[in-house]
Amino acid sequence: MITLFEHYNYAIVIILMMIGLYVVFSSANMIKKLVGLSIFQTSVFLLYITMGKVTGGQPPILDPAEYESHGGGHESAPAAAHGSGHEAAQASHDAVQSAAHTADVIYSNPLPHVLILTAIVVGVATLAIGLALVVRTREMYGTIEENEIDELDYLGNLEGHAG
Amino acid sequence: MTPELAMVALLIIPALAALLIPFAGKYPNVREGITVTAGLALLATVIYLLIFVGQSEANRPEYFLTKFAGSFELKLKLEPLGMIFAAVASSLWLVNTVFTIGYMRGNNEKNQTRFYTCVAIAISAVMGIASAGNLITLFVFYEILTISTFPLVTHKGDAAAKKGGRIYLLILMATSLGLLLPAIIGTHVLAGTTDFQVGGVFPPGFSLTAAGILLFLFAFGIGKAALMPVHPWLPNAMVAPTPVSALLHAVAVVKAGVFTMLKVVIYIFGPELAGQTHASTILCWIAAISIVLASVIALRKDNLKARLAYSTISQLAYITFGAMLAAPAALMGGALQIVMHAWGKITLFMCAGAIYTAAHRTNISALNGLGRTMPWVFGAFLIGSLSIIGLPPMGGAWPKYFLMIGTLESGKQVLLAALLISSILNVAYLVPVAIRGFLLPPDDAKADAKIAGHLKDYRFVRFAPVIAAIGAFILFFAVGPLVDYLAPILPVTMRGGF
Amino acid sequence: MDLLSYTPAWISTHGPALLVVLPLMMAVLTAILPSRAAIGGKLAWLAVLATSGICLAVAVSMLLQVMAHGPIDYAMGGWAPPFGIAYRVDALNAPILVLISAVAVLCTLYALPSVDAEVEPKKRAAFYAAFLVSFAGLLGMVITADAFNVFVFLEVSSISTYVLVAMGASRDRRALTSSFNYLVMGSIGATFFVIGIGFLYMQTGTLNMMDMARILQDGGVDSKVTKLAFAFILVGLGLKLAMFPLHTWLPGAYSYAPSFFTAFMAATATKAALYLMLRFSFMVFDPSWAFIGKAVMILVAALGLLGMMAASLQAMFQNDLRRVLAFSSIAQVSYMLLGIGMATTLGLSAGYLHMLNHAIIKGGLFIAAGAFWYRFGITQVCDMRGLGKTMPWTMAGFTVLGISLIGVPGTVGFVSKLALVQAAALHGWWWAIGAIVLTSIMAIIYVGRLIEQAYFQDPPKKGAVTVSKNEAPLMMLIPLWIFAISAIVFGINAEWTTSLAAAAAELLSGGPDTIVPHMGGH
């Protein structure tokens, strides 16, 4: 239980994921499905960002002044930033500690942020296509409720076979 | 003329005929001449090979065609059983050609060129089946046979013909692709090869369950053997003109089926292994039920060709029965039945065709007194019937005899009853036809007199059944050499009685 | 046949990047082509043809190189892995690259008449552009060696696929709902996949697949995170490759998409996803680890079995021709899963071979189905009456591919089914053989139905006149017959395809004839 509270980020990820999936499955309205999908995808963003945070880490922006004064010492900083994450936290913790001696600054891992930016873009594109489909569906069916669309299809099918 | 060349010639001669016939389409006599010439050439080749193959067991001709899909080879190899089958097929092709010429011209059939072409292709496929060296080659020719006989079944082109053709193709294709092919692949995977070998290809100690399952797959996969319940294609194929029925039911299709059945039991499983499985016992019973049930159904049919069709199913089941008994005498009986039944049944069908051509009658109840107008035809029918029933001195007596010995040899005496019952039923459904023809007074004497007047137009159709009937008679005396010829198909340990 | 000596050096050094970048750039160019009726569409078509042709040439040369000299590695932008994104062409993905490109070329030939009939003139340029994006996405998915890059290309191809499927709405409005359904399910699947990648990154700290494998081997085999990662990746990819029961998007998407795209999709999309599953299951994770092994052998094989039976059964009862073919595709993919589930070199080889062979068969079948619609507006099986007379060449090609689907000796279908049966027999999976036999009988039925309608029924009558012969245009017949002839040629002489499959399987299992060790026996 304590662990759950300590890692409340992950709890939120799971909750959002489940809410998102539930909304997708249970909604008949196409837009609501897209909403659920977005919630679901957001939970994944949170997951990635959470794992990117290194305890005691700064935002990963290189300060040129620091970089010059500490020359080669910063080679280990990328190493520390590289292997982060909660499960491997122990190992990386030691690496961070040793790195801390040679480097003055600990950075959070920038890579997950990059990955998430990509995923966000993908999510936006998917949402855009989804909404375009909703618009066209409305044009062709007159409704965006899935059960009504199914009925219209069924009736259309019957007509098609009778003719 | 080396034996290998002769073996390949077996396939090429009819195929060549099939290639040339379409060009002679406008000249019927030339076209028929091609068929007859090819038939004679084929017969000559067969006789040559008969002598060669019979000489020694060691150097039988073998010919490798091609390899495909990695491990599968197509190859030809001759052995006594195949040789006998080829002999039956080639000799009856000639006889049937005489009949066909008479029938086609007598009834002014359309599309005769297509007919003769397809028959030639079918015979080529039959030769391929007879000389196949392994299961996969046999399968390829088996399928070619199905496809080439399909236009023959739907020859008439009307709705009934198409329906019959559909059922024909459906059942044969479904059984061969769905059951036979998996069985062949199973054999290939489990035994490493599908080559035909005396004594079987499976290693000693092979699992009886696996052998049993494969046996079932083969028994029902070989749809052409018409084991119940995969038999419906046969009565439905009766929509074809009688020369096709004669070809289908005596020469090509059904004999290919039961021949395959025998080859599988003898050369793939080996009689010993086959006999040990439970599956063979079950299949024996199924065959026995087939024998009796088909005879009962035949009794109830008034249409002559339909009656003969069910009679065929019954007679084929004898061969399957013999194969599944797997006793030496039973296997010999099955092999002999291929020969005897072929000649006997083709006689009966050709008689039916002659009756249709000359008198336009198809039902048995309409045949009263016709025997007095067409004595040769009905006489041939009587002789053919006696052969089918199994009475000496007709050839058909021997297979029944061997099969009965076989049931005793294998300890399944109960099944003897099936053979005896079926013989009685054979009498019941075949003899009345001849009796009606000869002994009962005609329904309409004037109509019969008209027929008598035209008879000389139908010489061919009346001549052919007589030849076949004489053949059925002669074969009675040929059994000695036949048995000697066939003895090497059995494993050495089983040849004692022969 | 030393074609290798004719290929310029820059292909082997830059080929991997070219393969992805070229279609992407051409997509942009194609999208801005003028969209006036005749010119826009034709120019766009030419662009697509040229692009896919070049990609085919590059893919083939890379295949030859890989077969002769071993894997090709490419670091995108010159950044060295594991920090940079690496592309890798080896025995596992080279044949698939060739497959995707070849199918693209053939389907593009087919597209000339087909797209003209199905897509409005002013949308054609955009349509072809979207196709190029999809093509680039598939190629990228297959060629990349960076796990997140896989997700990116997966989504690139998926999103363009959603668009392309929806373009079928001018024929049948159900394309919209099918596309939407596919969108929702596909996005969930891709998101599951990216969650799995996230967990893998957490565990290993790297995104490069080879690096991941190495780090996982050293330590982390038993950690929960690894197992979780595998589970998510398996489910995510399973949805994309239409593994039972995650297959429900497929029939709709295949039936209502424009026929050009259905033909392409049916032959490539699921194969790419299957390749990814192979890559992840065997080369990032390893089935010799208990959890992975159990999942692969029990879950994947069992789902393959269920998929085979369920999909074949459903295929027998469909009234719409394209749905029959779609359910058949699901069944065929399940065969592949069965082969993979064995986790033996032979099984993997059989599954991989079936991937290649099935692409040939299905691509051709959907081309024929599209041709039927093009000439006669046929979508239902009962409307296929008499096609043997009215479209003899098309139907003949369809029949050849149909009997190949059944698995008649002499065709590709037989070769791969035989390989599967042999692999199953050696592995002792008799139930699998029984299932293959049973589903083959079902295949005989559902293909037989179609052939029977075409050849044994008379063509329909309009009033008193029987519909007359109206063969498909040449541009449709050519790719159809190329597929059909390939199905026969590779069925009779299967040495080349079998050697490709064997090489791929050896790469996956680490050696010829290995049974990847697993816990729990069989």
Chain C's closest residue to A143, CA to CA, is C177
Q: For residue B326, which phi and psi values (nearest 5 degrees)? A: 60, 15
What is the reported pLDDT for B408?
A: 85
Rounded to an integer, the average pLDDT of B400-416 is: 84
Q: Which of C148, C159, C174 sits opposite A153 (nearest CB)?
A: C174
Residue-level pLDDT at C36:
65
pLDDT value of position A89: 46
Instruction: Enumerate the β-bridge partners of residue C73.
Output: C88
- Across B356-370, C109-123, C326-340, which has the greatest mean pLDDT? C326-340
Fill in the DSSP letter of residue B240.
Answer: S
Give the model's pLDDT for residue A130: 96
Chains that touch B (3 or more CB pairs under 8 A): C
Q: Which helix (H) or strand (E) holds A58?
A: none
Q: The tokens 């039945």 sit on which residue?
A: B337
- What CATH number is given to the structural domain containing A29? 1.10.287.3510
Lowest mean pLDDT among B115-119, B326-330, B368-372, C482-486: B368-372
Q: What is the pLDDT of residues C175-204, one digit of tens each?
A: 999 999 999 999 999 999 999 999 999 888
Of B437-441, B443-447, B487-491, C107-111, which one has max mean pLDDT?
C107-111
3-state secondary structure of C19: helix
From the list A84, A92, A137, the residue facing C180 with the nearest CB is: A137
The full 3-state SS of C183-221, as one line of letters, equals HHHHHHHHHHHHHHHHHHHHHHCCCEHHHHHHHHHHCCC
Confidence at B8, pLDDT banded by 50, 70, 90: confident
- Residue B414 pLDDT > 70, yes or no? yes
Q: Which residue has the higher pLDDT, B467 or C7?
A: B467
Asked whether residue B497 carries a pLDDT value surpassing 90, the answer given is no
| Inter-residue contact C320 to C380 (CB < 8 Å) | yes
Best residue in B65, B68, B154 to probe C by mutation, most C CBs within 10 Å?
B68
Q: What six digits make up the tokens of A118?
A: 């990509």
Residue B61 has pLDDT above 50, yes or no: yes
**Residues of chain B contacting C440 with CB distance shorter than 8 Å:** 177-178, 182
Task: List beta partners, residue B74.
Answer: B66
Structure tokens, C320: 């719409």
Contact across the interface for A37 and C201, Cβ inside 8 Å: no
**pLDDT score at A104:** 67
pLDDT the model gives residue A96: 45
In chain C, what percentage of residues exceed pLDDT 70? 95
Q: CA-to-CA distance for C31 and C34, rounded, in angstroms?
A: 8
Q: How confident is the model at residue B58 (pLDDT cuts 50, 70, 90)?
A: low
- Say if residue A82's pLDDT is above 80: no
What is the pLDDT, as a whole number, of residue C512? Answer: 52
How many whole angstroms separate alpha carbon A10 and alpha carbon A16?
10
Higher pLDDT, B125 or C81: B125
Residues C297-304, mean pLDDT to the nearest whole number: 89
CA distance B243 to B350: 7
Strands (E), C70-203: 72-75, 86-89
- Surface of A (5-24) touching C: CB under 8 A: 21, 24
Q: Return the higher-pLDDT residue of C311 and C79.
A: C311
Which residues 440-479 in chain C show a CB within 8 A of chain B? 440-441, 444-445, 448, 452, 456
Contacts A42 to C, Cβ<8 Å: none
CB B189 to CB C406 under 8 A? no
Instruction: Give the per-residue pLDDT at C298.
Output: 85
SS in 3 state form for C340-406?
Answer: HHCCEHHHHHHHHHHHHHHHHHHHHHHHHHHHHHHHHCCCEHHHHCCHHHHCHHHHHHHHHHHHHHH
Sequence-distant (6+) residues with CB within 8 A of B324 are B219, B265, B274, B280, B281, B283, B284, B287
Mean pLDDT on C253-276: 94
Nearest to B120 by CA among B192, B19, B30, B261: B19
Distance from CA of B212 to the nearest CA of C (A): 14
State the Cα–Cα distance between residues C166 and B385, nearest whole angstrom.
71
Residue B233 has pLDDT above 70, yes or no: yes
Burial pattern B76-104, b for ≥16 Cβ within 10 A else e, equals: bbbbbbbbbbbbbbbbbbbbbbbbbbbbb
DSSP 8-state symbol, C317:
T
* Three-class secondary structure of residue C89 per DSSP: strand
Distance, in Å, from the CA atom of C519 to the CA atom of C298, rounded to the nearest integer, reads 11
pLDDT tens, position by position, C302-315? 999 999 999 999 99
Task: Say if residues C103 and C359 touch (Cβ distance below 8 Å).
Answer: yes
pTM: 0.85
Looking at residue C248, its pLDDT comes to 93
According to the model, what pLDDT value does residue B310 have? 92
**Amino acid A81: pLDDT:** 42
Q: What residue ranges do the domains of chain B occupy?
A: 3-494
* Weakest mean pLDDT among B453-457, C340-344, C351-355: B453-457
- What does B26-67 look like in DSSP terms, one character per residue? T-HHHHHHHHHHHHHHHHHHHHHHHHHHHH-SS---EEEEEE
Interface of C with A (CB under 8 A): 148, 151-152, 155, 159, 162-163, 166, 169, 173-174, 176-177, 179-180, 183-184, 187-188, 190-191, 194-195, 198, 201-203, 205-207, 223-225, 319, 380
pLDDT at C142 over 90: yes
List CB contacts (< 8 A) between C408 and chain B.
143, 177, 181
Q: Which residues of chain C make contact with A37, given a CB cutoff of 8 A?
A: 184, 187-188
Model confidence at C109, pLDDT cuts 50, 70, 90, reads very high
Residue in C354, C456, C458, C497 to test binding to B, most B beta-carbons within 10 Å: C456
B287 phi/psi in degrees, rounded to 5:
-65, -40
* B239 Cβ neighbours under 8 A, 6+ residues apart: B153, B154, B156, B160, B161, B163, B164, B165
For residue range B344-388, list pLDDT tens digits in order. 899 999 888 888 888 888 888 888 888 888 888 888 899 889 988
- Encode burial over A138-157: b for 16+ CB neighbours within 10 A, e otherwise: eebbeebebeebeebeeeee
CA B184 to chain centre: 22
| A24/C184 Cβ within 8 A | yes
Q: Note down the domain range covering A53.
A: 2-159
Quote the CA–CA distance of B161 and B158 in Å, as a whole number.
5
Which of B96-110, B157-171, C46-60, C370-384 has the largest mean confidence? C46-60
Q: Residue A67 has what pLDDT? A: 64
> Could you report the predicted ipTM of this complex, rounded to two decimals?
0.88
Closest by CA position to C187, among listed A119, A149, A117? A119
Task: Flag whether pLDDT at C66 surpasses 80.
Answer: yes
- Cα separation, B332 vs B490, in Å, equals 9
Phi/psi at C410 (nearest 5 deg)? 105, -5
Q: What is the DSSP letter of A86?
A: S
Please answer whether residues B320 and B223 qualify as being in contact, where contact means their C-beta atoms are separated by less than 8 angstroms: no
Mutation choice for C interface testing from A133, A138, A146 by most C CBs within 10 A: A133
Q: Is the pLDDT of residue B391 over 90?
A: no
A149 contacts in chain C (CB < 8 Å): 177
Q: What is the pLDDT of residue C177?
A: 93
CA distances from A82 to A3, B28, B420, C217 (A): 25, 90, 90, 19
**Each residue's pLDDT tens digit, B151-160:** 888 888 788 8
| Total of domains in chain A | 1
pLDDT at position C291:
74
Query: What pLDDT does residue C404 have?
Result: 93
CB hemisphere CA count around C132 (13 angstroms):
31
Rounded Cα gap, residues C340 and C349, in angstroms? 8
Q: Is the pLDDT of residue B190 over 60?
A: yes
* Residue showing tokens 């196709």: C131
The single residue listed with the structure tokens 């006599």 is: B29
Residue in A closest to C198 by C-alpha: A48
Q: Report the mean per-residue pLDDT for chain C.
A: 88
Sign of CA dihedral C336, C340, C342, C344: positive
C7 or B152, higher pLDDT: B152
